Amino acid sequence: AQSVTQPDIHITVSEGASLELRCNYSYGATPYLFWYVQSPGQGLQLLLKYFSGDTLVQGIKGFEAEFKRSQSSFNLRKPSVHWSDAAEYFCAVGPDSTGGGNKLTFGTGTQLKVEL
Amino acid sequence: GAVVSQHPSWVICKSGTSVKIECRSLDFQATTMFWYRQFPKQSLMLMATSNEGSKATYEQGVEKDKFLINHASLTLSTLTVTSAHPEDSSFYICSARDPRGRVGYTFGSGTRLTVV
């Protein structure tokens, strides 16, 4: 069964500092990998995704992530964090075709706080 | 492209009544939609996979008679919480998989259900 681990429940960084959010996955084949961001009371917004090809993926809002098959990781990075980046971040892997739905499996999320 | 609209954004209902939540794909046809439940400060829990024209596939532990899912068209799936009770209060989010493969999975903005 596929799974996603986000080891950091909370992370606090200063505005302007660099950021790395960790994501490790377990999947039987080449996965589809996603990073989503969620603001309080809102749905999920896709930051970036990896399907195939270049292992360094660029996303919106200045985020990037690198797929490392040997480490089963897909860490999210940003060189300079802005106060508006404070939110909950979810890593997800898929598709899981059991049950015929091609569903995603989510990590438990990382709450990012930005100190001004 | 790949926009999912979820309605209503929030709803308050009396215990024992039923509530319907709609999820529409606005610019693509979604043969598969997903319904999630999210408790405060927790990750998304997949409730069911909704397949157009067929019965939904429910995750283990989810009461199919309480959470009725209908996916009657390629752009609309509905979740009806029947005989709602306070413990059903939660944040419900729908998602649709874009079959064109450009985005992957798009999420609605969520529905905050409060049962009083």
Low-confidence residues of chain B: pLDDT under 70: 1, 101-103
Please check whether residue B112 touches A, CB under 8 A.
yes
Tens of pLDDT, residues A18-35: 999 999 999 877 789 999
**Rounded CA separation A86/B6 (Å):** 24
**Percentage of residues of chain B with pLDDT beyond 90:** 71
CB contact under 8 A, B104 and A46: yes
Closest Cα of chain B to A82: distance in Å? 22
* C-alpha closest to that of B6 among B56, B45, B30, B54: B30
Tens of pLDDT, residues B43-73: 999 999 988 888 899 999 999 999 999 988 8
Contact between residue A79 and residue A92 where contact means Cβ atoms under 8 Å apart: no
**What pLDDT score was predicted for residue B98?**
79
The tokens describing A4, both together, are: 């996603």
**Rounded CA separation A86/A115 (Å):** 9
**What pLDDT score was predicted for residue A19?**
98
Low-confidence residues of chain A: pLDDT under 70: 97-101
